C-alpha cells in the first residue's frame, strides 16, 4: 500500500450514530469489566456519591454505538457497513494480522444513563512503521460524542487499528 492510499483514507467518516445510553446496558458493561460498584446500577448510590445520575464506566464509549442506536434516531448520512474495514481492505487483501491497538478516552463531562448522544467517527491519521522485519500500518479512528440536543461535547474516543504484514 502506498503512502498516497494511506493519505487518502485520512478524513474518511467511519460512523455517524445517535445512541440512547441505557441503564441496563451500563450495568451489564460494568459487570463485564468486573466493576461491582452500585453507582452503575442504583440511582440512589449514584446520588449518594454526588453524581447527577447513573454514570457509564470509563471505557463504555468503546461500545456505545452498538447499544441504544434506535433506527428512528439515526442520521440520514450515516455510513453503511464498516468504514474501518473498508479503509483496511487494501491491507487485508495482502494477508497479515489486524489488531486493536491503543484506546484513549477524553471526557468533557461524564456519560450518564438516559443521555442521548451523537457520535461521529473519522479516520484522523494513517501511517506505517517497520518493526522486526514487519511492516505495521496504524489507522487512527477518532469518535467525537456530543449531547444530541445541545451539541455540547461529552467524550472523544481515539483508537489505533494496526495491520501487521
- Tens of pLDDT, residue by residue over 43-100, are 999 999 999 999 999 999 999 988 888 888 888 887 776 666 766 777 777 788 888 8
Written as nine digits, the cell of 131 is: 518493526
What's the CA gap between 19 and 36, in Å, rounded?
A: 24
Q: Give the three-state DSSP class for 28.
A: helix
* Portion of the chain with pLDDT greater than 90, in percent: 58
User: What b-and-e string marks burial along 29-51, b requiring 16 or more CB atoms within 10 Å of the CB?
Assistant: bbeeeeeeeebbbebeebeeeee
Per-residue pLDDT for 131 more than 90? no
For the chain, the average pLDDT equals 89
Q: Which CATH architecture has domain 3-21+68-164?
A: Roll (3.10)
Amino acid at each position: 500500500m502506498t503512502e498516497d492510499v494511506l493519505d487518502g483514507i485520512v478524513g474518511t467518516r467511519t460512523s455517524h450514530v445517535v445512541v440512547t445510553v441505557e441503564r441496563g446496558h451500563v450495568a451489564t458493561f460494568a459487570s463485564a469489566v468486573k466493576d461491582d460498584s452500585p453507582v452503575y446500577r442504583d440511582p440512589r448510590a449514584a446520588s449518594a456519591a454526588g453524581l447527577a445520575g447513573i454514570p457509564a464506566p470509563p471505557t463504555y464509549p468503546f461500545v456505545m454505538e452498538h447499544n441504544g442506536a434506535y433506527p428512528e434516531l439515526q442520521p440520514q448520512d450515516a455510513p453503511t457497513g464498516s468504514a474501518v474495514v473498508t479503509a483496511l481492505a487494501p491491507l487485508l487483501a495482502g494477508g497479515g494480522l489486524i489488531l486493536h491497538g491503543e484506546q484513549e478516552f477524553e471526557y468533557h463531562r461524564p456519560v450518564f444513563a438516559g443521555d442521548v448522544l451523537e457520535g461521529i467517527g473519522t479516520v484522523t491519521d494513517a501511517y506505517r512503521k517497520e518493526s522486526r522485519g514487519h511492516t505495521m500500518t496504524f489507522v487512527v479512528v477518532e469518535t467525537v460524542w456530543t449531547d444530541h440536543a445541545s451539541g455540547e461535547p461529552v467524550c472523544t474516543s481515539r483508537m489505533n487499528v494496526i495491520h501487521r504484514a
